[in-house]
């Protein structure tokens, strides 16, 4: 009986990462659904936010300086524009101050997560983060947006399977309901300090997805770089504007239910057997 109960408990412990990851994906899917609904009423409008984001990118790609420790672009714009918050990174593509600018979908790696501003630890526990100081992910020649997320968390999948991506695979972004599709042209493993690997390339519209490797050691970085596909494929447009297809059906719950019922059945049968034996010992048969 005790063995059966311990087996059920042990199996539950083994299933915890899967169950926690499923729950996290479910929560992210809910956030994505809310994003799609609220972005329709965004103020400023998506069109205006895209205009601001492209001006931000123009400043970066035209050699604007970056403020120390802040990665906020500085250029020779008029004071009036500066006063209007032209370079306020946190205010551009920020839906109702939630920090969400869109979603990134990588079908082959089971990725469909919200994209937030910045890469703080708190941000990366919620979803993917846009690396401040790189191009905002609104497309355009000579831009490279960098999006990063955790890998190998016990309670979330995020970019865990990014190492499955190969040259020729596709991924897409939905930024304020504008869908941008990318085809992978390069997969690299680099040292964390290798900033040359994420610099823009003249004339190319790039997005690089970044996560840690080797799994659990995290001493290097996987860089998956995609180049913009024109026009955006209809299937990518539909997927990026529709509800998330994650998490997948929780088969683990059915497996656990079977194990739990089996374990409890064995434990119950063992308990009844023990009770029957004890009763037999208390009422011995009369000897002749």
Tokens for 16? 């915890």
Write b or e for each residue in 112-139: b if 16 or more Cβ atoms lie within 10 A of its Cβ, otherwise e: bbbbbbebeeebbebbbbbbbbbbbbbb
Q: Which of 212, 248, 269, 286 is an active site residue?
A: 212
Q: How far, rounded to the nearest angstrom, does the alpha carbon of residue 257 sit from its chain's CA centroid?
A: 29
Of the candidates 36, 117, 150, 161, the residue annotated as catalytic is: 150
150 is catalytic: yes
Stated as kind and residue range, the H or E segment containing 71 is: none
Query: Cα separation of 270 and 266, whole Å?
Result: 6
Q: Is 286 a catalytic residue?
A: no
DSSP code at position 134? B
Alpha carbon distances (Å) from 40 to 35, 50, 285:
9, 14, 82
* Residues with a known catalytic role: 150, 212
């Amino acid at each position: 009986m005790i063995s059966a109960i311990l087996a059920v408990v042990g199996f539950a412990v083994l299933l915890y990462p899967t169950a926690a990851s499923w729950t996290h994906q479910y929560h992210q899917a809910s956030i994505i659904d809310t994003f799609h609904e609220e972005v329709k009423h965004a103020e400023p409008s998506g069109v205006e936010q895209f205009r601001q984001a492209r001006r931000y990118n123009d400043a970066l790609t035209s050699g604007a300086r970056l403020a120390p420790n802040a990665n906020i672009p500085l250029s020779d714009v008029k004071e009036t524009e500066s006063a209007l918050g032209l370079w306020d990174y946190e205010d551009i593509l920020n839906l109702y101050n939630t920090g969400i600018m869109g979603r990134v979908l990588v079908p082959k790696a089971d990725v469909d997560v919200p994209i937030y501003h910045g890469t703080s630890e708190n941000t990366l526990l919620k979803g993917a983060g846009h690396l401040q100081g790189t191009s905002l992910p609104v497309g355009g020649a000579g831009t490279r947006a960098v999006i990063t997320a955790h890998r190998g968390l016990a309670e979330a999948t995020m970019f865990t399977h990014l190492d499955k991506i190969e040259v020729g695979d596709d991924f897409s972004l939905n930024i304020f309901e504008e869908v941008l599709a990318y085809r992978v042209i390069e997969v690299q493993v680099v040292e964390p300090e290798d900033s040359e690997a994420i610099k823009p390339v003249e004339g190319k519209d790039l997005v690089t997805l970044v996560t840690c490797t080797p799994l659990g050691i995290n001493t290097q970085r996987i860089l998956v770089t995609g180049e913009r596909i024109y026009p955006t494929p209809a299937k990518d447009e539909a997927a990026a504007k529709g509800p998330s297809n994650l998490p997948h059906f929780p088969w683990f719950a059915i497996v656990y239910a079977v194990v739990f019922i089996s374990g409890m059945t064995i434990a119950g049968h063992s308990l009844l057997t023990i009770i029957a034996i004890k009763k037999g010992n208390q009422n011995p048969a009369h000897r002749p």
